[in-house]
Amino acid sequence: MTIHSRRDVLKTAGAFALVSGALDVQSAFAASEAETTAYVGTYTTGSDNHGEGIYRFRVNLETGELTDRKLAAKTLNPTWIVIPAAKKFLYAINEVTDFAGGNGSVSAFVIEPAGELRLLNTVSSGGAGPAHMSLDASGRFAFVANYIGGSTAVLPVQADGSLGEAVDVHRDLNNVGPARAAGAPPGSFAVSGHDAPHAHMIAVDPASKFVLATDLGQDRLYTYALDASTGKLAQRGFLTLLGGAGPRHFAFHPNGHWIYLITEESSQIVFMNYDSQTGTPAIR
């Protein structure tokens, strides 16, 4: 009998989760008011192999039907996709561990008029197995969380849309939480992810003043001050969640003062107040 961990299941479904996100951000590519374009990333290697790279779909906004599937770009394990506000470029993490000395990578593409993707360049993600990336409001910096490597990195975005080498890399060390979450629901078998530090998400706050990052293995939410001129991050501190909780992703409320964070191992939504002047989150 084969036993699959919760992370295995989530990993298999990860590419499908990108569909809804892509539908939201691709509205600028609408051929008409009733149609838009979506990009979907896939796993391309290993047992989770479901495709050859990034696919482009036409989406009927009235029925939700996906049609005209085309391979927009061949690239390794593009499991997270980000498109800047101007919608001229697309950035995708490559969830691998063998790029430039045991790292993952991030690829930059130009979005062509017909929706195809043209590769600009690929650079190191600053750690193995990237799981998430985001951009600041200005589109000048890309932030990457490397799950397997337990590190976060800042990559500059060049004038032509390509990515530069990391200007800052932070590696989380030691202090892992317990394997079983203290606040997990009865009968929970979610026990993965606390073997080592695992950076899972990194994003700038609404004011583009501070950067927040989760580490699932450490049960921590880190805060960094962002130097908007260089992209350098200065650690301000961290919030520790209940042991074994496994913080995964978070989202800011439009008011900029509330944060909602989901925990993978304890299966909870954590509500926090956020002081935008000091970059300090606090659980209510």
Considering the domain architecture, whether residues 13 and 94 belong to the same structural domain is answered as: yes
Q: Is the pLDDT of residue 14 over 60?
A: no
What does the pLDDT read at residue 213?
A: 98
24 shares a domain with 120: yes
| Global pTM exceeds 0.85 | yes
Between CA 100 and CA 233 the distance in angstroms is 23
State whether 117 and 186 are in the same domain.
no
Residue 192 has pLDDT above 90, yes or no: no
Output the pLDDT for position 248: 97
Q: Is the pLDDT of residue 151 over 50?
A: yes
CA-closest candidate to residue 182, choices 240, 262, 265 = 265
Side chain identity, residue 109: F
What's the rounded Cα separation, in Å, for the pair 134 and 105?
14
H or E segment at 76? none
Domain match, 1 and 98 both = yes
Residue ending a domain, among 69, 100, 127, is 127
User: Is 160 contained in some domain?
Assistant: no
Mean pLDDT of the chain: 88
Angle 191-195-197 (CA atoms, 0-180°, nearest 5)?
115
Looking at residue 32, what is its pLDDT?
A: 57
pLDDT at position 5: 38
Mean pLDDT of 256-282: 96
Phi, psi dihedrals of residue 128, rounded to the nearest 5°? -80, 145
Residues 128-151, mean pLDDT to the nearest whole number: 97
187 has a pLDDT exceeding 90: no
pLDDT in tens, 222-258: 999 999 999 999 999 999 999 999 999 999 999 999 9
Q: With respect to residue 166, please indicate whether it lies within any of the assigned structural domains.
A: no
| Residue 102 sits in the same domain as residue 6 | yes
In single-letter form, the type of residue at position 261 comes to L
For the chain, give the percent of residues with pLDDT over 90. Answer: 79
Give the residue-averaged pLDDT of 59-87.
95
Letter string b/e over residues 159-172, b meaning 16 or more CB atoms within 10 A of that residue's CB: eebbbbebbbbbeb
Mean pLDDT of the 265-284 span: 95
When computed from its CA atoms, the radius of gyration of the chain, rounded to whole angstroms, is 18
Which pLDDT score, from 0 to 100, does residue 183 have?
83
Query: Does residue 191 have a pLDDT over 90?
Result: no
177 and 254, same domain (yes or no): yes
One domain, residues 118 and 176: no
Residues 203 and 100 placed together within one structural domain of the fold: no
Q: pLDDT tier at 189 (50, 70, 90 boundaries)? A: confident
Does 79 score more than 90 pLDDT? yes
Q: Are residues 120 and 176 in the same domain?
A: no
| Over residues 174-197, mean pLDDT | 90
Higher pLDDT: 19 or 211? It is 211
DSSP 8-state code for residue 21: H
| 95/184 same-domain check | no
Span 37-43, mean pLDDT? 94
Beta strands in 61-192 (DSSP E): 66-74, 81-82, 89-99, 103-111, 117-124, 130-135, 141-146, 151-156, 168-171
224 domain residue, yes or no: yes
User: Does the residue 271 lie in any domain?
Assistant: yes
Can you give the residue range of the structural domain that contains 86?
1-127
If one counts the domains in the chain, the total is 2
Handedness of CA 181, 21, 134, 70 (dihedral sign): positive
Residue 3's pLDDT is 32
List, for residues 17-29, the tens digit of each pLDDT value: 233 333 333 333 4
Q: Do 109 and 215 reside in the same domain of the chain?
A: no
**What pLDDT was estimated at residue 28?**
37
Q: What is the pLDDT of residue 136?
A: 95
Q: Among 68, 98, 127, where does a domain finish?
A: 127
CATH number of the domain to which 5 belongs: 2.130.10.10
Which of 127, 160, 192 is a domain's end point? 127
Same domain for 13 and 123: yes
Close Cβ partners of 82 (under 8 Å, ≥ 6 residues apart): 90, 91, 92, 133, 134, 135, 142
Q: What percent of the chain has pLDDT over 70?
A: 88
Any bridge partners for residue 90, and if so which?
A: 109
Q: Is residue 155 part of a domain?
A: no
pLDDT at 17: 28
Is pLDDT of 9 > 50? no
Reported as a single tens digit per residue, the pLDDT across 102-123 is: 999 999 999 999 899 999 999 9
Asked if the structure places residue 136 within a domain, the reply is no
